[in-house]
Amino acid sequence: MLTIQGPGLKLRDGIARRTAMQIGALGMGGLSLPQLLRAESATGKRSSHKSVIMVFLAGGPPHQDMVDLKPLAPVEYRGEFSPIHSNVEGIEVCEHMPLLAQRMDQLAVIRSLVGSEGQHSAFQCLHGHPQLNQPIGGWPCFGSAVSRIQGTVNSEVPAAVALQPRIGGAFWSESGQGGFAGMRHAPFAANAPGSNDMVLTSMTKDTLQNRRALLGQMDSLRRKLESNDVIDGMNTFYQQAFEILTSGRLLNALDVEAEDPVIRERYGRGSKEPAGYGDAGWLRNEDFLVARRLVEAGARVVTLSFGRWDWHGQPHGTNFDNARDHIPALDRALSALLDDLKDRGLDRDTSVVVWGEFGRTPKINNKGGRDHWPQVGCALLAGGGMRTGQIIGETNALAEYPTKRPVHFQEIFATLYNRLGIDVDHTTINDLTGRPQYLVDHTKYQPLPELI
């Protein structure tokens, strides 16, 4: 984390209350300041660009209690919630999603998500591949791959930004790895404090400039000692780091207090306290708003983790206690995001995906919980010019397995790449052995024709 104080970064009153704006996660996975930055030069500013907002529901959301209710199933399967009609004929969702029900024409519901690795982890949702048997260097996460392929929209905002907080359950709060796309493409983790943070206390913009001058002198001296391309490259990164730090564009996007209070209220607030019992991220509706602000500022991929959806039952509340807590929060935040994107004309350029690592057991356990169920899960897709207002896939009477149109995780990724203008049939990134790697297994998985 790099913390800088001073007038050069003062955006509005809200900043002063926080005492300093923090540029987070420079230390993520050993990253240093230059690794914030992409290697390429800015490719020019556009009024709008294609982007993706990914909402990760850590722990595995209960598909049968949200978008695939089975009211005719036996009581030990069907749960406590009733379905409600939506604004699309034939589509029903959970009674605790009334706002999304009225926006179902803007959503595509995947009821047959398959291919889960079964790992309790954000990895598959962030990277599109299993954790096991990765190529040398590791799979780049979705944002890293997009950063590598498309670069930044402008020089002040990284292509990939992750809003996940870094907390105890690292497997849920990780922001995604750069992998063989390169560490410099790893998402900028805006909310990730940690022991590796670089905190410059009491530093003003002026002193920062002085430090830059000092750094320049040191680098100049070093260059005299040895001619080294790496150091030259590093200079470029440092230069870009200073551009970000001093421009305020990224900082402003992250500053939710700069938002119109009326719009802010639509999203709801939430809290930065860890959700559930402390091993997952927070349940913070405002992250949806920050994601929109980041997309507007130039980010191509923004990921966030919302709450803790791993509901095994008492003594940590039943599946339904937790669902009554989380689902209305998601209902409000996601509805506000859809409205906001539409109001700003971003809905055709920005794709939204909401999902978790797997579904949950059809039968309710003796503690009122549902356990892990990799056999089938669900996903919500919106925006991006996709054909929404439809259900894709179907499960059997107990929501145990797909009976129609199973949709693999990689088909979702192929669709998201497609929406960004990336052709999964022809786009590769070389791994550390120099071997080209496709973004998804394109021989099996293609963009969903139902959506594009």
Partner 1 sequence: MSLKPALQLRHDNAAYSVAFSSDGGLLASGSLDKTVRIWELPSGLQKFQMKGHGEAICSVVFLFANSILLSAGLDRTLRTWNLATGMLKSTMSGHSAYLTCMAATPDNLTAVSGAHDKDLILWDINAAAPIATMKGHTDIVNTVAFSPDGKMIASGGHDFLIRLWDVDERKQIQEFGPQAKPIQCVAFSPDGKTIVAADESPVIRLWDVSIGKTLRTFNEHKAAVKCVAISPDGKRLASGSNDTSIIVRDISTGEVLQTLKAHRNTIYGLAWSFDGTRLASASFDRTVCVWELLSPG
Stretch that binds partner 1, among 185-193, 324-332, 335-343, 393-401 (CB under 8 A): 324-332
Binding mask 87-126 toward partner 1 (x if CB under 8 A, else -) reads ----------------------------------------
How many residues in the chain?
452
Which is nearer to partner 1, 317 or 402 (by Cβ)?
A: 317
* Residues whose CB falls within 8 Å of the CB of residue 108, separated by 6 or more in sequence, listed in order: 380, 381, 382, 386, 387, 388, 389, 390, 391, 392, 450, 451
Provide the mask over 299-318, with x wherever binding to partner 1 is found by CB under 8 A and - wherever it is not: ---------------xxxxx
Query: Least distance in Å: CB of 325 to partner 1?
Result: 6
- Whether 85 contacts 95, CB under 8 Å: no
Return the ∠ at Cα 118 (arms to 326 and 182), rounded to 5°. Answer: 90
Residue 69 token pair: 């209710």
Query: d(Cα 194, Cα 191) in Å, to the nearest integer?
Result: 10
Nearer to partner 1, 364 or 416 (CB): 364
Report the alpha-carbon angle 176-448-116, nearest 5. Answer: 45
| Residue 60 or 270 with smaller CB distance to partner 1 | 270
Task: Out of 82, 271, 428, 433, name the contact with partner 1 by CB under 8 A.
Answer: 271
Does the protein bind partner 1 through residue 363 (CB under 8 A)? no
Q: Do 34 and 234 form a contact (C-beta atoms < 8 A)? A: yes
In the complex, minimum distance from the CB of residue 101 to partner 1, in angstroms, rounded to a whole number:
18
Burial of 399 (0-12, 13-18, 19+ CB in 10 A): buried
368 binds partner 1 (CB under 8 A): yes
Among 243, 257, 325, 441, binds partner 1 (CB under 8 A): 325
Do strands 402-404 and 372-373 pair parallel, antiparallel, or not at all (unpaired)?
A: unpaired
Provide, rounded to whole angstroms, the least separation between the CB of residue 239 and partner 1. Answer: 42
In the complex with partner 1, the residue whose CB is nearer, 253 or 329, is: 329
Cβ 140 to partner 1, closest distance in Å?
Answer: 35
Q: Which of 324, 342, 348, 405 is the binder for partner 1 (CB under 8 A)?
A: 324
Among 321, 371, 441, 450, binds partner 1 (CB under 8 A): 321
User: 180 or 320, CB closer to partner 1?
Assistant: 320
Whole-number minimum distance, CB 276 to partner 1, in Å?
Answer: 8
Phi, psi (deg, nearest 5) at residue 243: -60, -45
Task: By CB under 8 A, tell whether 80 contacts partner 1.
Answer: yes
Nearer to partner 1, 257 or 325 (CB): 325
315's tokens:
């003594």
Minimum distance from residue 287 beta carbon to partner 1 (Å) = 17
Part in contact with partner 1 (CB under 8 A); list of ranges 8-16, 188-196, 229-237, 268-276: 268-276
Among 122, 203, 104, which Cα is nearest to 162's? 122
* 278 lies in the binding site for partner 1 (CB under 8 A): yes
| Of the residues 19, 201, 227, 366, which one makes contact with partner 1 according to CB under 8 A | 366
Q: How far apart are CA 291 and CA 297, in angstroms?
A: 10
State the chain's maximal CA–CA distance in angstroms.
Answer: 77
Judged by DSSP in three states, 30 sits in helix
- The answer for residues whose C-beta is within 8 angstroms of residue 262's C-beta and 6 or more apart is none
Which residues inside 182-221 make contact with partner 1, applying CB under 8 A? none
Among the listed residues 74, 277, 423, 428, the single contact to partner 1 using CB under 8 A? 277
CB of 429 to partner 1, least distance (A): 41
Task: Count the residues of the shown chain that bind partner 1, applying the rule CB under 8 A.
Answer: 20
**Amino acid code (one letter) for 432:** L
Burial profile 414-444: b = 16 or more Cβ within 10 angstroms, e = fewer: bbbbbbbebebeebebebeeeeebebbebee
- Is residue 339 part of the contact set for partner 1 (CB under 8 A)? no
Binding segment toward partner 1, per CB under 8 A, in 19-27, 124-132, 191-199, 319-327 = 319-327
Q: Is the dihedral of CA 289, 294, 297, 300 positive or negative?
A: negative
Residues that bind partner 1 (CB under 8 A): 80, 271, 273, 275-278, 314-318, 320-322, 324-325, 328, 366, 368
